[in-house]
Amino acid sequence: MNKRKLILVMAMAMTAGAVANAQTATVLATGLNSPMKIILTPEGNLLVSEATIQLNNGRVSIVTRAGLRQTLLDGLPLGPAAPNAQPLGPAALVLDGRTLYINILEGNALVPGVTTGSLPFPNPNGPASPMFSSILRVRLSADVDRMLTSFSLTLDNQYTLADGGEVQLRNSNQQTATLDLLADFPDIPLDPREIYGHVRPYGMTLDPARESSTWLTRDRIGSSR
């Protein structure tokens, strides 16, 4: 996917026994920063998680059916990941009513090895955020399709959340977003294959009863009530 464009692919209808027709594509929206994951809102708009090259400038945007982009939440944890400095921050999204769950990838918890072919190792300067490898819960005061202006998270807010506190943000229209950490994985566990392991909670879902959330990482499935 082009990192500056969101492409909506629409498959052409196929009749039984016929050869599949070629797909056509159209640009729905531009101005997105390395879009990572996309989900639908109840009213048919899109929520998109994004990354940039700037530290702690991860973002979740709302893209309307008309292709207009509006920031929902920015200032999310983000950093260049080893070994190729790919910006990793907000990724998988799950929306349950007025609660949005955002999984945060590993950022720059690890840095490239000092010689060609050597393994990544823990960032000697410390990671850019205390919230890498986590799942953030965001409770909105209104339906996501009714959010009028954006919310911004600060680095101080991130430390409050990492310490187990709760943060309430307010936008210019006096709507609120209340944030807390649902799950916080270790950033750099020991790994028998790589010495230091990567932690990437790359997918999430909710159980049918909505009694717990479930996340999927590279090597395990976990849940939290």
What is the residue extent of each domain of the chain?
Answer: 33-224
What is the helix, strand, coil percentage profile of the chain, to 5? 5, 45, 50
Quote the pLDDT of residue 211.
56
Provide the CB-side half-sphere exposure for 181 (13 A, CA).
20
- Among 44, 43, 38, smallest CA distance to 94 is for 38
pLDDT at 202: 67
Predicted local distance difference test score (pLDDT) of residue 194: 59
Q: Encode the chain (225 residues) as per-residue pLDDT tens digits.
A: 444 444 333 233 333 344 445 578 888 888 888 899 999 999 999 999 999 888 999 999 999 999 999 999 999 999 998 878 889 899 999 999 999 999 999 888 888 777 776 677 788 898 999 999 899 999 999 999 999 999 999 999 999 999 999 999 999 999 999 999 998 887 776 565 655 556 666 678 887 776 555 544 444 444 444
The pLDDT assigned to 31 comes to 83
d(CA 133, CA 11): 35
Q: What is the pLDDT of residue 104?
A: 93
Q: Cα separation of 198 and 18, whole Å?
A: 45
Measuring CA to CA, which residue among 224, 199, 219 is closest to residue 91? 199
pLDDT number for residue 76: 97
Q: Please tell me the predicted confidence (pLDDT) of residue 210.
A: 61
**In this predicted structure, what is the pLDDT of residue 225?**
45
The sign of the dihedral angle between the CA atoms of 45, 205, 78, 165 is: positive
Comparing CA positions, the residue from 158, 141, 156, 139 lying closest to residue 101 is: 139
164, 45, 26: which is closest to 93 by C-alpha? 45
For residue 199, the model assigns a pLDDT of 61
Q: What is the pLDDT of residue 218?
A: 44
